[in-house]
């Protein structure tokens, strides 16, 4: 497919009553890669760059910083980092064209790389309002997950202490699943139906009560040795009904319709590996080798 060049940036903007401004823009971006990366993977990165450019143009960016400590056997490192965040969601994407070309990197040695250029329309919706500083201000750090690296068939345990009264919803993003249902609501569920958490209450998922015995077992799809998934948590001031299964775009659409001052959200990536494939690294402790 040939790249479609767009001499002008096109903007389709509309406002729905009670919702944030929705904007559709066209943009293009490129990504260079070598033979260790497939054309599809390279073009996927280029498309991600298109989305990022449009989100930054429409919703702006804000800077934040933090620190992280990595401890393993013989290693103890403290890292300081600064990152950009964008106050918006990608609702839909329409690829207009893509082209993969071979580019000479060094005319003397003859080294070359591939470059994928993608153009697309991207529909974005900016977050509404501002965060309420009195509502769960430390939500992302109040949530604890028992591991960041799981062996296949390990159990995940989520624990949080509520700084405010809130309604909590927890989702699992599984990129290897069908796109139509790769976001799954895992809390509340049939075993733990109540989503409201009182101020100061400790929420455990799964609950320790043996009468509610179930577990969140880590699974790998056939043919996969490792897989990165994401745990997505949302705290709201009011009850919000989410589908049990949905696309990532649908999840973002529902999230964007909740004003910023009515919610907090956090994302926790984690890795699933086959047994015996890698050590399990704890955030503040020594590595634990598979038994």
Question: Is the Cα dihedral 41, 243, 168, 152 positive or negative?
Answer: negative
| Residues 172, 277: Cα–Cα separation, whole Å | 23
- Domain architecture of the chain: domains with CATH: 11-126 (no CATH), 139-273 (2.60.40.10)
pLDDT band of residue 255 (cuts 50, 70, 90) is: confident
Mind listing the pLDDT tens digit for each residue in 23-45? 778 899 999 988 888 999 999 99
Cβ atoms 162, 197 nearer than 8 A: yes
pLDDT at 253 exceeding the cut of 90: no
This prediction's pTM: 0.63
Pair of tokens at residue 94: 């329409």
Mind listing the pLDDT tens digit for each residue in 239-249? 999 999 999 88
């Amino acid at each position: 497919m040939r790249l479609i060049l767009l001499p002008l940036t096109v903007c389709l903007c509309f406002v729905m009553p009670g919702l944030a401004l929705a904007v559709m823009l066209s943009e293009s971006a490129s990504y260079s890669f070598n033979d260790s990366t497939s054309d599809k993977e390279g073009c996927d990165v280029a498309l991600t760059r298109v989305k990022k450019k449009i989100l930054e143009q429409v919703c702006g960016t804000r800077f934040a910083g933090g620190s992280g400590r990595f401890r393993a056997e013989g290693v103890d490192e403290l890292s300081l980092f600064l990152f950009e965040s964008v106050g918006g969601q990608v609702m839909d994407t329409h690829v207009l064209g893509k082209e993969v070309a071979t580019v000479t990197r060094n005319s003397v040695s003859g080294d070359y790389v591939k470059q994928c250029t993608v153009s697309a329309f991207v529909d974005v919706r900016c977050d509404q309002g501002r965060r309420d500083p009195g509502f769960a201000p430390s939500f992302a750090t109040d949530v604890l997950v028992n591991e960041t690296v799981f062996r296949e068939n390990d159990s995940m345990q989520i624990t949080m202490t509520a700084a405010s009264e809130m309604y909590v919803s927890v989702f699992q993003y599984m990129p290897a699943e069908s796109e139509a249902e790769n976001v799954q609501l895992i809390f509340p569920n049939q075993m733990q139906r109540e989503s409201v958490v009182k101020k100061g209450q400790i929420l455990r998922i799964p609950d320790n009560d043996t009468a509610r015995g179930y577990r969140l077992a880590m699974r790998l799809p056939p043919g996969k040795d490792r897989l990165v998934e994401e745990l997505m948590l949302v705290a709201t001031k009011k009850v919000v009904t989410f589908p049990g299964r949905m696309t990532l775009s649908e999840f973002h659409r529902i999230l964007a319709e909740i004003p910023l001052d009515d919610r907090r959200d956090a994302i926790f990536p984690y890795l699933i590996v086959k047994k015996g494939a890698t050590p399990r690294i704890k955030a503040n402790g020594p590595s634990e080798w598979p038994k």
